[in-house]
Every structure is written in C-alpha cells, then in structure tokens.
Amino acid sequence: MKNPFTKKSGVPGVPVSKQHHRIRIAAITIVSALVLIGGFFLWRAGSVMDKISIGKGGIFSSVMKSLPGAESKLKGEEDGRINILLLGMRGEHVDGGGLLSDTIMVLSIHPGDGKEDKSRASLVSVPRDLYVTVPGTSDKQKINAVHYYGEQRGKGQGMEYMKQIISEITGQPIQYAVTINFKGFEDLVNAIGGITVHLDEPFAEGLQFHEPQVCDPYVYTVPTKPPQYQNKWYVRQDGSRYITKSYLLCYNKDEECGGVFELPVGDSQLDGEKALCYARARYKSNDFERAKRQQEVIKQIKTQALSLGLLSDFTKIDGVMNSLGDNVRTDMEAWEMKRMFDLYQKIGDAALTQKVLDTTEEGLLYHPENSAPEAGYILLPQGDTYDKIKALFSSLP
C-alpha cells in the first residue's frame, strides 16, 4: 500500500491535500494583509480624498493602486511633465457668476530623475478675458465662461471643457484639474494659520467692494450719500436724447472686504478672508496685476505649509483636506493625490517659474480695438493663433 505521507512532490510527513490547504491559507493571508494596507490608506486619507474627487476609479481602484508593488504612476509622469489646471470661482449657487472660472492657472510639474535632470515647476496664469470657442460648439465666449457652459451639459463637464480649451491654447495635454471656490480658499488659508505678504508700497482697493448698484429690497439697501442715480436714456432719430427713468443707487448692506480694502507697507498677516480680498482685488490695478498677486499668494501658502510640516507627512493633510469640504473638486483619484504628494516630497522646494499672459510684447496677447460691442473687453493671441503661446509652454523649464 502507498504511504500517502511520502509523495515525492510533497513535504515529508504532510499530506498533499493539507499542503495545498496551507498554501491557499498563506496566499489568502498575504492578499488580505495587502488589502488591509490599502484599506488603512483609505481610512487615513482615501475617505477624505474621495470626498473631493470626481475621478471615476473609486475606492477599489485606490485600494489596488495602494498595494505594494502596484504600478501607480500619474498621467504624464513617464513623459516627465504633469500639467494641472487650477481654477478659482465664487462657487455654485453663489450670486455674481458662481460657476465662472475667473482664476485660471496651469501648474506644470517636472519630477526629474533625481540626478542630472533636476526637478522643477512652472505656474502660468491665463486671463479670464481671453476670447475662445467653447468646445464642441461654434460659440465665441470669454474663457472664464467655458466652465459654466460645460456644467450646463452635465456635472463635472465644466472641468473637462476647461481642460480641453486650455490644451488647445497651450499645446500641452492637461492631465488633471482642481477647482476651489471662495469658501474653500478662505478655509484653506485659515487651516494653515494664515499667510504673510510683504508690500513695498501700500495697497488699497476702494471701488471693487464698494461699488453701488441699483437699489433693491434685499442686498443693495444702503443709499449713496449724496444720492447717485443710474439713468435710462431714450435716443431720438436726430441723435438727441433724454432721460426716461432714473434709478437710485445703493451700497451692499453686507459689503465684501469691508467696502474699502487696504494693506500697509511691510509685512501683513492675512487670514482667509483678507487673503481672498487681496487675491480678488483688481479695479484699482488690472487682471494682470491681480494674477501676479494670486501667484504670490499661492507661493506663500506653499511656504506656510512647508513650515508646518504639512508637505512632509501625508497624514497631516487630513485635517486640511477635511476643512475644505465640498468647496474643492478634482478629477484625480485618491491614489493619484497620494502619488502627487509622494512626488512632491522628492521634488522638494523646486524652482518655480512664474508667468502671466498679458498684453505686453512678452505677454503674447492683445486687445482688438474694433471688437464687437456685445463681446465686451476681450483678449486675443498675438498673430491670432496660439503658436507663440504653445512655444512658450514648450520652452518652460
């Protein structure tokens, strides 16, 4: 009779069936441990990240990508350039064009190889008045309206529309996008304890947040002193005209930024509300100067985050991300956000090249003098093509 305990292919003294059983248990144990590791990541970060992500992979994708040895590279990482579109807006259901993306920036990250190819990054601001064709249509609109039109087609489409038009303009694939509204920006700055800005000259914005509008019983309820009016005119065939009606003007009963926003020379500590006012102000300067201030504010947020150690320990970001709630959205999946954090740790405090597209010779845009009145103030690319802008993005270090 054959001894079942001495089969050559087995372990002496252990039945083959039991060997297979133990192998299965060991395999299940290993897989379970790996899934628990991924689950721990999701518990610590994924639940928070999933809240702000509109990515399509979901929790299962994040678990699998977080397993040791799993291939988890970002789009564009293999090519050495990851382009992220940053959009700022008032926020959905907020008066004053809540879905218009009035802040538009492209952040390009070059991870480098850790050797001769050094890590670096660039940040380019695109003005909201750039006149473009809305993707999938023949309609011409200012670029800040593209996000709104996309959202009318479906939730999350605004981000996709903006990525598409920015890709056409820059000649670069835009792999990811992030949107943040006013509330999210304030919460972010407050969560890191505020930021410090240094000014060589005093800064004041006395019109933008104190501009009178036609009085109404809800918001604009404080009459101007002395009284100011907005007149409605009738123009006769001979070119003469007369006033048909006058509307009393009022100030907002809850004026933003205190009505008149001012900062002195030197260092100023800004909380979320003041940082937002500083980043939004533009009437006494222009959109281009505002874009430069916004880039400096982003740098100061990064500096403050570094000083707190937030960018050296992923678990420390949980509280910050939680505070942003429904005010930030991205098409990155949770594992991609974690990978981005890991890449940043390798990059460290890399050099940042900053650029604002404007109407200077180097700014590559111009304002057409004879544009259609209904279009308002618009900007077009020099030469009426995006060639120079594409060359700029290709040349960025």
Digit-coded pLDDT (tens) for 137-174 = 999 999 999 999 999 998 889 999 999 999 999 999 99
Residues pairing with 241 in the sheet: 235
What pTM was estimated for this model as a whole?
0.78
- At CA 42, angle to CA 109 and CA 178, rounded to 5? 35
Q: What is the pLDDT of residues 70-123, one digit of tens each?
A: 557 899 999 999 999 999 998 876 665 678 998 999 999 988 766 667 788 899
> Which runs of consecutive H residues, i.e. helices, occur in the chain?
16-41, 47-52, 58-66, 146-153, 157-170, 182-191, 272-280, 287-307, 317-324, 334-347, 387-395
Question: What span, in angstroms and rounded, lies between the C-alpha atoms of 179 and 328?
Answer: 6
| 156 CB-side CA count, 13 A | 10
* Rg, Å, the chain Cα set: 28
Assigned token pair, 164: 């598409």
* Cα end-to-end distance, the chain, whole Å: 78
pLDDT in tens, 312-358: 776 677 667 777 777 888 999 888 888 888 887 777 667 789 999 99
Catalogue all structural domains in the chain, each as residue range(s) with its CATH number: 12-183+308-397 (3.30.420.590), 213-252 (no CATH)
- Higher pLDDT among residues 285 and 93, named by residue: 285
Average pLDDT over residues 61-76: 63
Range list of H helices, 133-240 = 146-153, 157-170, 182-191
Nearest CA among 330, 333, 254 for reference residue 95:
254
